[in-house]
Amino acid sequence: MAKRRITKIKLFTAMMLVGILAAGVYIVSLDIAVRARFEGKKFALPARVYARPLEIYPGLKLTLPALTAELALLGYRQTSAAQEPGTYRWRGRELDLVTRAFVFGDGTQDPISCTVSFTDGRVVGLTRRDGRANLDLVRLDPALIGGIYPGENEDRVLVSLSEVPQSVVDALIAVEDRRFFSHHGIDPRGIARAVFMTVSGKSVQGGSTLTQQLIKNFYLTAERTLRRKFTEMIMALLLEMHYSKQDILETYLNEVYLGQDGNRSIHGFGLASSFFFDKPLPHLSLSEGALLVGMLKGPAYFSPRNHPKRALDRRNLVLKQMVETGFITEQQCLAATSAPLGVVDRPARGTSPYPAFLGLIHRQLQRDYRDEDLRSEGLQIFTTLDPQVQRVAEKALQQRLSQLEKARGMKSGVLQGAVLVTATQDAEVQACVGGRDARFKGFNRALDAKRPIGSLIKPVVFLTALQHPSHYTLATLLDDTPLVLKQAGTGDWAPQNYDKRFHGRVPLRMALAHSYNVSTVRLGLALGVAPIMVNVQRLGVDRELPAFASSLLGANALSPMEVTQVYQTIASGGFRTPLRAIREVLTAQGEPLQRYPLNVEQVIEPGPNYLLTNAMQAVVREGTAQGLYNRLSPELGIAGKTGTTDNYRDSWFAGFTGDRLGVVWVGRDDNESTGLTGASGAMGVWGDMMVALEPEPLLLAAPDNVESVWIEPASGLLSAAGCPDAVELPFIVGSAPTGRSECGPRSLGGSIKNWFKGIFQ
């Protein structure tokens, strides 16, 4: 009997030792987990994407409505005095403005208090409000246009405990954990209450400490079981063993969930402060801080935007509890409870207002960064987006498509479109519209809609010809008579012109201006389709395209983005610069990580490119895009090209001025006919944009190897300035015709006639 008792004792002891060992191993594993997360990178910080900063300087073309819209996008507030950063006041044609501090790639910019003066849509004065010397330039902080969020779509702005108002800490202690600074991670009374409630079967709950709440949010799931609660308590004790109350409190303030913004979850008091009050956290008042603390119990239930009455009652309860704990006086409580909620009414920012442009940014970033870094390292991405240009592009597309549908009796919403606008000098993408609903985060037609480009290919055909000046010039007469192309394995192909007519012998320049199909095909076949497709690649399309005869009339499909790259090279004088939407990337600490400099390569000789641009100006001046000539000043010298595909399925226009290139596509997602040509569809959108943007004129500087000669168009022979129908055309030196028309120079009759004509004019 005694022997059996000893055996049981040994067995019990062994089991106890095994249990203690297992518990020790478990606690050690929990300890490792606690320290690994707390000492490592605590939070996954999303990448933040910014538009270009608006730089204001004397002489800048900037209207009052455009600046007002920019300030609204930035969240600046109009006040009676404009004293704090992020505020402004209009005084007639003068604007008192206080900019915000911001960390740019070239350093920190402190707030600037200034007055901006306007006259006739331009900035004419920029002065400091303190009376010091005038300013040369003021740079506004850039608009936050989106983010690349972690997998859980969590967003937060990290703050240090020193930035948190004491009233927020006091409210938190009063409501959530009054013994926070005296317990060691767990509150025995809270544990007893939780055990009683669970055992009695009423619920699994209990007054967790702030430390336990942090453990649950930071390490564990929301599972409501005794095992999870036991693990939570052990980890809370371990956390308090290793770290100070200040460290724990700071992490808690940055971790807690406080609301939802679309598909983006708002975490931490730093972000919640700007999201609800449009204020930095240190500037929160007593009542505002109490409101945020009160929301912790149920951010959706006590949402001040959706349930203001509940939020108000909850805030006032928090203030009363602060009186009970001695943090504030009755008088302070009375003043705070009398204050309004103060929540700003602003649109949701969870989904970027510019999803098409953000999609472009993400693709360019993925070439240089791992996706996990984009979603966790807090990178700051400064882009080329110009909100003013973007706004104009969106409006032009939406309104013009609606007008076209109404005028043609179409069902509303049938037509779709895409727009890209770039700066001709540096290939920066200023606007990207992926569809008529610019806020829709779905199929991005600007990047992904590959559609036949129709006559937009013709400038490349004619450029290829002009690269051979000994054979082709702008005055070369092309054959525009009927053509039947017999092809093995398929039916005969007989291209037709849009007007269903043939035009005999036409100057190369006019064949492009009027977009004649037959003469273009004949020219392309003489040159060879393959060299033309090589030129398309040289201009910017990074893939091989089929070299069929129909390719000469744009049967190949390109996206608006690819078309923009091709025309960007032409607009920049034959220099290929990859379209760029990112200027630089900074770390979360504001340190430069990577810059995206210009990468320029001359792929087309200046002479042929100059001749082509001259011919594209004729498209607008007297050809298929002449409608623009009637809407915009002839002095702009716009160069462009219309594009229409078979059965009017696709309507295109690409054109550029001295400072901007725009490419527009209009069509239907079901690929049915729109009934629109390039001129009646896409060109209208382009014209609406440019009327609003007031572009700079396109002033061409002739290369050294280009000379101007007067030509008689009908014969392609030399003429003189005073001769009937004579036109002055550019030629590569040595390529101008040598034959002379009857009215040409060195013709005696022609000279006498011109002499008399000059006298009596």
Q: Do the beta carbons of residue 553 and residue 457 sit within 8 Å?
A: yes
Query: Is the pLDDT score of 404 beyond 90?
Result: yes
Q: What is the pLDDT of residue 179?
A: 85
The residue with greater pLDDT, 737 or 279, is 737
Give per-residue pLDDT as tens, 603-631: 999 999 999 999 999 999 999 999 998 89
CB-CB contact of 129 with 117 (8 Å)? no
Residue ranges and CATH numbers for the domains of the chain are 56-143 (3.30.2060.10), 154-338 (1.10.3810.10), 419-583+593-693 (3.40.710.10), 706-760 (no CATH)
Q: Do 47 and 371 meet the contact criterion of CB atoms below 8 Å apart?
A: no
User: pLDDT at residue 18 above 80?
Assistant: no
176 catalytic? Reply is yes
Contact of 236 with 31, CB cutoff 8 Å: no
Dihedral through CA 709, CA 711, CA 717, CA 721, nearest 10?
A: -90
Task: Give the span between the Cα atoms of 308 and 316, in whole angstroms.
Answer: 12
Q: What's residue 2's pLDDT?
A: 63
Q: Which of 153-157, 520-524, 611-615 has the lowest mean pLDDT?
A: 153-157
Mean pLDDT of 429-449: 93
- Conformation bin of residue 185: beta by default, left when phi > 0, alpha when psi is -120 to 50: left
Quick check: 755 pLDDT over 50? Answer: no
Per-residue model confidence (pLDDT) at position 374: 78
Residue 654 pLDDT > 90, yes or no? Answer: yes
Length of the chain: 761
Question: Distance between CA 714 and CA 503 in Å, rounded?
Answer: 12
Output 469-473 pairs: Cβ under 8 A, ≥24 positions apart.
469/607, 469/608, 469/731, 469/732, 469/734, 469/735, 470/735, 472/508, 472/523, 473/508, 473/611, 473/729, 473/731, 473/732, 473/735, 473/736, 473/737
Q: How far is CA 759 from the centre of its chain?
A: 60
Phi, psi of 506 (to 5 degrees): -125, 140
pLDDT (0 to 100) of residue 748: 39
DSSP annotation of 325 reads: T
Q: Note the pLDDT tens digit of each residue in 191-249.
A: 666 566 656 655 444 568 888 787 777 766 666 667 767 777 777 777 778 888 888 88
Question: What's the number of CA atoms in the CB half-sphere (13 Å) around residue 745?
Answer: 8
In 123-187, where does DSSP find H-type helix? 166-176
What's the CA gap between 740 and 534, in Å, rounded? 36
Average pLDDT value for residue range 704-727:
94
Quote the percentage of the chain above a pLDDT of 90: 63
The H or E element containing residue 601 is strand 601-602
Residue 478 pLDDT greater than 80, yes or no:
yes
Q: Per the residue annotation, which of 455, 551, 572, 651 is the catalytic one?
A: 455
Rg (CA), the chain: 35
What pLDDT band is residue 641 in, cutting at 50, 70 and 90? Answer: very high
Q: From the candidates 70, 176, 240, 250, which is the catalytic residue?
A: 176
User: How many Å apart are CA 492 and CA 168, to the nearest integer?
Assistant: 81
pTM of this prediction?
A: 0.82
CA distance 412 to 664: 20
pLDDT for position 126: 94
**Res 313: pLDDT:** 95
Give residue for tokens 């929990």: 30
**642: helix, strand or coil:** strand
* pLDDT given for residue 149 in this prediction: 77
Mean pLDDT computed over 685-691: 97
Helix (H, G, I), strand (E, B) or coil at 478: strand
Whole-number Å distance between alpha carbons of 591 and 243:
29
Q: What is the mean pLDDT of the chain?
A: 88
pLDDT in tens, 88-110: 999 999 999 999 999 888 888 99
Q: Note the pLDDT of residue 366.
A: 84
Most confident of 57-71, 171-185, 228-242: 57-71
Asked if the model's pLDDT at residue 747 lies above 90, the reply is no
